[in-house]
Amino acid sequence: MTSSPNPAPEQTLICLQGIRKSFLSDELETRALDEVSLEIRRGEFVAVSGPSGCGKSSLLAILGLLDSPSAGHYWLNGQAVEQLDNRARALLRNRQIGFVFQAFNLIADLTVQDNVALPLSYRPELSRAERRERVAEVLAQVDMAHRARHLPAQLSGGQQQRVAIARALVGQPSLILADEPTGNLDSRNAELVMDLLQKVHGQGATLCMVTHDPRYAALAQRTVALFDGRLVADMPSAALYPRPLSSPVPASSAHAAAAKLAMPEAL
């Protein structure tokens, strides 16, 4: 059904209703997402947690219009996504959404500045000078201006992720989707990356971030948890992680929080 009225009130950026995602391989059906309904308000910072294979990346791929649900409805910014053709989806993705991945996903034979400029190549309304200016601005923002002409392989993991964040930001998207952005980084670089993401959120972007790290989930306003494709918890992060942000979460309490998230009773 594509003619549903938009149920989203003004402050809602994302509205999912009954989202299902199935993968078929060798006649085996994997249900990656099962009846997921979720609203995310404009400007919110939401952490997505849950054990490996529970559907977190599948959820982000659908939120980011990289993949389509098998069933259910998705309204982004009041627009019913299933009514859009491929071109309109690509345009919306390019204008509204920035992605950050665990594995950075930079293009190996493009320089840092050319990687960052990529999302702007679909913006014919921007002049060459405007593109250059935007690239320089975001590279300065992530403190990577001095590496503009390097290739990704010449950078550390932390530097590559900062470049990937610059690429996500260059189009000035309203929604940032980050899938385990600190997963491949040491704690110092992870903190730098989290500082950047928090800054972007502070400037008004909506941030939805998959993370296994309770220290970083604690920075979000809200944590939603998936288990076997189902949304099993949706609560203020402060209720799950009641410690000050600066102090590390001891392993025992991290495990308790993870166990709490994994259990359907957490509802």
Binding site residues, ligand ADP, CB under 6 A: 23, 25, 30, 32, 50, 52-58
Q: Which partner, Mg ion, ligand ADP, none, binds residue 30 by CB below 5 to 8 Å per kind?
A: ligand ADP
* Partner whose footprint covers residue 250, from ligand ADP, Mg ion, none (CB < 5 to 8 Å by kind): none
* Residue 25 contact, options Mg ion, ligand ADP, none, Cβ 5-8 Å cut-off depending on partner type: ligand ADP
Q: Which is nearer to ligand ADP, 12 or 57 (CB)?
A: 57
Nearer to ligand ADP, 99 or 162 (CB): 99
**165 phi, psi to nearest 5 deg:** -70, -40
Residue 21 Cβ vs ligand ADP, minimum distance, rounded to whole Å:
8
Nearest to 40 by CA among 222, 201, 198: 222
**Residue 69 touches which member of ligand ADP, Mg ion, none, C-beta under 5-8 Å by kind:** none
Distance in Å, CB of 185 to Mg ion, minimum: 16
74 or 170: whose CB is closer to ligand ADP?
74
Question: Hey, is 47 helix, strand or coil?
Answer: strand
The nearer residue to Mg ion, 61 or 117, going by C-beta atoms, is 61
Cross-strand pairs, 100: 178
Burial code (b: 16+ CB inside 10 Å, e: under 16) for 201-239 equals: beeebbbbbbbbbbbbbbbbebbbbbbbbbbbbeeebee
Cβ proximity to ligand ADP: between 50 and 98 the closer is 50
Minimum CB–partner distance for residue 27 and ligand ADP (Å): 13
Please count the other Cβ atoms lying within 10 Å of the Cβ belonging to residue 1.
6
Query: DSSP readout, 195-211?
Result: HHHHHHHHTT-EEEEE-
Q: What is the dihedral of CA 246, 214, 189, 157, to 10 degrees?
A: 180
Instruction: Pick what 98 binds: Mg ion, ligand ADP, none; C-beta below 5 to 8 Å, kind-dependent.
Output: none
Q: What is the CA radius of gyration of the chain?
A: 19
DSSP alpha helix (H) spans, the chain: 56-63, 86-96, 112-117, 128-141, 157-169, 187-202, 214-217, 237-240, 251-262
Q: Among residues 8 and 61, whose Cβ is nearest to ligand ADP?
A: 61
Nearest distance in Å: CB 176, ligand ADP: 17
Q: Which amino acid is at 2?
A: T
Q: Say how far apart CA 79 and CA 252 lie, in whole Å.
A: 43
